[in-house]
Structure 1
């Protein structure tokens, strides 16, 4: 069995004395593991940094074997991430969430394209938090938990939408929420693709997407806790504000 693809390195860990096991996210073959022979060497180890764009060839005797990767660097994103605490926390969050929620060997090409575009913005901290929030919305959609923010779930109105129902993921107006308003999640304009996206609005957006990541997606994956990397990223973003 053999295939070639280009993808994003999600993680790497030592295997034996000289090898590494890497976890790749590729557009055609999804999240995929494989062994890199000599992965701890001075030549290869610097290439195997999370977020790196790699050209890979995977080989195995049988399709269900872990197989081995040969890797060639396309571009590193380490420099853009290492220069700022928020950028590094963001990179760690993206790779951790993908490792957490993607099934193995299942293609998610639209999510891959969004992820590559997001990681290529690393270091541009004036636009990255908003781009990341939009990426979380895309992740929820790809995993089957899309938020419907087009109209009020109660009244059908398309104006005055200011809440999200924590149960259905649908928008709710102030009138529709009524006495239940204090139980709703915030719906800043930025979640609907409107406005410039102030830090305050982006922070509200993280509250809402975080709820659905934790209470819906993670719950349905067996109740596993979300990766701590996301909480660290939100904390770093909040401190920046």
Structure 2
């Protein structure tokens, strides 16, 4: 095995006395794990931070062997980790990626989308500038893993207009007319997921509630549910921000 790629650091854990096992998301080889010798050194700790873009080289003699990984920093997002809300967003987006994706399977759209979310966290003047991108990333991840929502038309009537809800069972959209009488049993569908563009805070929270329901139901259960604590911290900080 020999893979060279620009990758996003998603998870790092200590291994042995001085090394770490790092998991990065590459554009064409997907999520890969590798052992970084000296990964806890003063030189490499700032490089192996979640959200950073690195030049990664994986080498292994056999497919069963944990590859040796060497990394060079391409773009640091470490300065964002001093901002609690930005840090929580990076923590959740990378933890979700590292937890949900199977290793060694290519997801080029997710790699591009995750890099876009992290770049938005770095560049946007307010959290509203990246929160909608994060909701769309969660929605894309569900779709890429086979749990996509059908937001194209109402599951009850077939109508493609005025979609306002999502069925928590089927993941299909429901029009306002068909769903109004059952709104307490349905999930709100934010306009920005249909029309595009940015959303207000109420719509963003609705979007996070929507994707969160299906992430918990379909992907993050058992040991994987531990990753949801990062999402809870993010949502708590968002709620404090918007009052």
Tell me the TM-score normalized by structure 2.
0.92
Which residue in 1 is equivalent to 2:192? Answer: 190
- Following TM superposition, by how much is the alpha carbon of 1:165 offset from its aligned partner in structure 2, in angstroms? 0.6
Which residue in 1 is equivalent to 2:30? Answer: 30
Distance 2:14 2:180 in 1: 55
Q: Does 1:177 align with 2:179?
A: yes
Deviation per residue, 1:62-112 (Å, 9 max, x gap) = 122111011111011111232x21111000001110111100111111111
Q: Does 1:120 align with 2:119?
A: yes
Cα contact 2:100–2:224 (8 A) shared by 1: no
Which residue in 2 is equivalent to 1:230? Answer: 231
Distance 1:57 1:196 in 2: 37
Which residue in 1 is equivalent to 2:90? Answer: 91
Cα contact 1:163–1:171 (8 A) shared by 2: yes
Cα contact 1:213–1:226 (8 A) shared by 2: no
Cα contact 2:3–2:58 (8 A) shared by 1: yes
| Secondary structure of the structure 1 residue equivalent to 2:28 | coil
Distance 1:12 1:216 in 2: 25
Point out the more displaced range, 176-185 or 90-99.
176-185
Q: Does 1:164 align with 2:163?
A: no
Q: Which runs of 5+ in 2 are unaligned?
A: none
Q: Which runs of 5+ in 1 are unaligned?
A: none
Distance 1:179 1:93 in 2: 35
- Following TM superposition, by how much is the alpha carbon of 1:208 offset from its aligned partner in structure 2, in angstroms? 0.7
Aligned with residue 202 of structure 2, among 194, 200, 203: 200
- Following TM superposition, by how much is the alpha carbon of 1:194 offset from its aligned partner in structure 2, in angstroms? 4.1
- Following TM superposition, by how much is the alpha carbon of 1:195 offset from its aligned partner in structure 2, in angstroms? 5.7
Which residue in 2 is equivalent to 1:102? Answer: 101
| Secondary structure of the structure 2 residue equivalent to 1:150 | strand
Distance 1:142 1:107 in 2: 10
| Secondary structure of the structure 2 residue equivalent to 1:134 | helix
- Following TM superposition, by how much is the alpha carbon of 1:223 offset from its aligned partner in structure 2, in angstroms? 7.6
Cα contact 1:189–1:195 (8 A) shared by 2: no
Which residue in 2 is equivalent to 1:111? Answer: 110
Tell me the TM-score normalized by structure 1.
0.92
Structure 1 residues 41 and 91 mapped into 2: Cα distance closer, same or farther (>3 Å)?
same
Deviating above 3 A after TM superposition, structure 1's stretches of 4 or more consecutive aligned residues are 193-196
